[in-house]
Structure 1
Amino acid sequence: LDAINEHRDLGSGMRVAMRDLEIRGAGSLLGAEQSGNMSGVGFDLFAQMLSQAVANAREGASGEDAVLPPALSDITVNFPEHTYIPEEYVSDADERVLLYRKLACADTPSVVEELREQTSERYGAMPQACTNMFAKSLVRAWANEHGVKLVGVSAGKLTVEPVDVPKDALASLRRASGRYVAQSGKLVLPLKYFGLKEDESLIAAVYEFLVNLSEGTVAPSKDVSRPSSARRGR
């Protein structure tokens, strides 16, 4: 209450929020559970980025590097696996932010693959979380190319919407208890379809499946156990 009373001027919301952070602490914002961009760049840099964004908005700044391309900003890609760039892999915070931004704006799988090659050449073999990050970007880029707005995993099922499913693929998907609504283009497929082992990546398998789906070459569920590296590289 004292903090609110102290900052009563118009536009003082940010100062109240920062005071609240000082009083109550950051909670898990900087804790071990946090594995997103905040963990990747740190609170100080995040605060600087936020301040710069507010300043740009007030000044009416615009341009290609001010916001993400509209084609990608409304695409939702959700997976339960860890997807981030570890500080131990890319130690420089500015470099991590730049890489996050490039991946977020990568609108085709070929652009993502080029970034993957550049990153591997510069920093060496990727840890699993970073590999997952690039695989997720491949899924988003594929979705951008095919007009898909949602690729997500929840409650043991993969949901893709809207997507065109070739008639030849429907039988295989239905045998795996998959459901497809042609009117809305919504596909729901149990994860058992992929037959993954513990050490195999779900994101990479989903990307393999999506590429096959768009090419009309979806295999029966018993054959989709491990996506080939060649296909993931497309």
Structure 2
Amino acid sequence: SYRTATQRTATRERAKAGTVDVVVGTHALLSEGTAFAKLGLVVVDEEHRFGVRHKEQLKRLRMEVDVIAMSATPIPRTLYLALVGARDLSVIETAPRERLPIRTLVRSYDENLVRDAIRAELARGGQVFYLHNRIETIEATAARIRQLVPKARISVGHGQMGSGELEAVMADFVAGNHDVLVCTTIIETGLDIPNCNTLILEGADRLGLAQLYQIRGRVGRFNRQAYAYLFLHRHGQMAERARQRLSAVRQHNQLGAGFRIAMRDLELRGAGNLLGSEQSGHIAGVGFELYCQLLRQSISRLKGGATTGIRAEIHLDCIQHADTPLGITAESTDTPTGPILTATLPVTWIPETRLRIEAFRRIALAPDNLAVKELRADLRDRFGRIPAEADALLKLAELRCLAELHRVVRVETDGNILRCVRVKPDGVEEPIMQFGRFPRLTAKEPLRKLTEVRGFLSRLPPLGTT
């Protein structure tokens, strides 16, 4: 609830003096003038609503502070920190007793369906959230709903209302004095109204994946079947990324699906800059394997550990690899220079997002060919026969490990030409030549070409010999 300036000042003084054990607050705890005498634990609720700078401010309050971050849908950056072992992760998957999964419908806007959904909810004595995320037209939307369902008692709530006015609107809705609350995304967190079990959301394709999941979670908080109607924007063509988000929300409608939603969000947006402020992005730009290697080296360097001196870059024109999105169904193509195979872990082979990303991570961080061999055997045992796309990804990992073993920093193919660059102990790079020219490959098919390149690298003599 609201606190006066005097009350806030008194709380800060008690926290500074160490006469209070627990301080509960908002971002105001991060403002200048707030100090703690013996801060030992920071609990961040709704972690996805906090920025990186906010969390780092809390950690700087005391260098050895313990942090627990809680969220139904962790941001990609936080989730990936847990996946790579930089943070511990616990998942609560058991739903409260008698809870039912929310039935989710995604379709184009339909006033008849809106009217029928509201009437059906009111007929069983329930209430409705109607989310319209434009304050300029929210009153007009409320008037349209009154015309569709004249008997419904409708109220409006949004963030630009005065705190007292908004509080009165919400209190009346919780008390059951209104049937339909036409609102913006202010309902995303902090509301628990068991009698409200129908959500109607306009412009669902304009919201993020985690946001969609959080908003859908405002209904279905009792033992009554809840419904979520996600309507698309009436004008304009829906982007492919928006289509993927809505498909994920519709697919993951089981209880406790927040972790799976967060994993899908990581796939779609990337993990962000784990050592900077961006909380999503980058994976698609550099490729998952290179991303994992850079992350591993950065974390090791910050911890004062040793980092590998060689990182091999593999660019084969017969393999589509660096730009492959995580888990997107792979397709091989033919080009004038020969067939191209996509190196990935197909969704059809490893359907579970968490397991697929973990497999990607293990492949990317494999230190040597023995580790890749063990991983290959493990994947075959768990998921069955290895498809060509996954075989190509594993062979690329073997190629990388072999190249790094022989201090080869770059392996490229251009048709049948193989270009490799080796780095000497003094740091000087030199191309690997045969009879005064780059080696030539004879294989045409991608997997066989991979095998031929691997054979060439394995026969390389040690540096300093001929």
Q: Give the shorter-chain TM-score range.
A: 0.5 to 0.7
Paired amino acid for 1:93: T
| Cα contact 2:313–2:410 (8 A) shared by 1 | yes
Q: Are 2:432 and 1:187 aligned?
A: yes
| Cα contact 1:158–1:188 (8 A) shared by 2 | no
Q: Are 2:317 and 1:77 aligned?
A: no
CA 1:188–1:153 in 2, change beyond 3 Å: closer, same or farther?
farther
Residue 93 (structure 1) aligns with: 353
CA distance in structure 1 between the partners assigned to 2:377 and 2:384 by the alignment: 10
CA distance in structure 1 between the partners assigned to 2:240 and 2:355 by the alignment: 25
Q: CA deviation at 1:157?
A: 1.4
Paired amino acid for 1:196: A
Q: CA deviation at 1:88?
A: 0.8
| TM norm structure 1 | 0.55
Cα-Cα RMSD: 4.3
Bigger fraction of residues in helix: 1
Q: Are 2:239 and 1:25 aligned?
A: yes
Paired amino acid for 2:417: K
Q: How many residues align?
A: 165
CA distance in structure 2 between the partners assigned to 1:72 and 1:90 by the alignment: 33
Q: CA deviation at 1:158?
A: 1.1
CA distance in structure 2 between the partners assigned to 1:45 and 1:193 by the alignment: 40
Bigger fraction of residues in strand: 2
Relative to structure 2, which stretch is displaced further, 194-203 or 119-128? 194-203
1:212 to 459, 463, 466: 459
Could you tell me which runs of 5 or more consecutive residues in structure 1 were left unpaired when the two chains were aligned.
1-10, 12-17, 31-40, 165-182, 217-234
Residue 173 (structure 1) aligns with: none
**Residues 1-234 of structure 1 aligned to structure 2 (within 5 Å):** 25-26=239-240, 44-47=265-268, 49-50=270-271, 53-54=272-273, 57-58=276-277, 67-69=295-297, 71=308, 74-79=311-316, 80-81=318-319, 82-162=342-422, 184-187=429-432, 193-196=440-443, 198=445, 201-214=448-461
CA distance in structure 1 between the partners assigned to 2:275 and 2:439 by the alignment: 47
CA distance in structure 2 between the partners assigned to 1:137 and 1:153 by the alignment: 16
CA distance in structure 2 between the partners assigned to 1:72 and 1:119 by the alignment: 29
Secondary structure, aligned partner of 2:399? helix
Paired amino acid for 1:201: R
Deviation digits for residues 24-49 of structure 1 (CA, Å, limit 9, x no counterpart): 8348xx8xxxxxxxxxx996332565
Q: CA deviation at 1:68?
A: 2.8
| Cα contact 1:75–1:140 (8 A) shared by 2 | yes
Paired amino acid for 2:459: N
Relative to structure 2, which stretch is displaced further, 115-124 or 183-192? 183-192
| Cα contact 2:363–2:397 (8 A) shared by 1 | yes
Deviation digits for residues 119-142 of structure 1 (CA, Å, limit 9, x no counterpart): 111111111111010000001111
Deviation digits for residues 167-193 of structure 1 (CA, Å, limit 9, x no counterpart): xxxxxxxxxxxxxxxx74202578984
Relative CO higher for 1 or 2, CA cutoff 8 Å, sep ≥ 6? Answer: 1
Deviation digits for residues 211-231 of structure 1 (CA, Å, limit 9, x no counterpart): 122479xxxxxxxxxxxxxxx
Could you tell me which runs of 5 or more consecutive residues in structure 2 were left unpaired when the two chains were aligned.
1-52, 54-204, 209-235, 245-261, 279-291, 298-306, 320-341
CA distance in structure 2 between the partners assigned to 1:73 and 1:88 by the alignment: 34
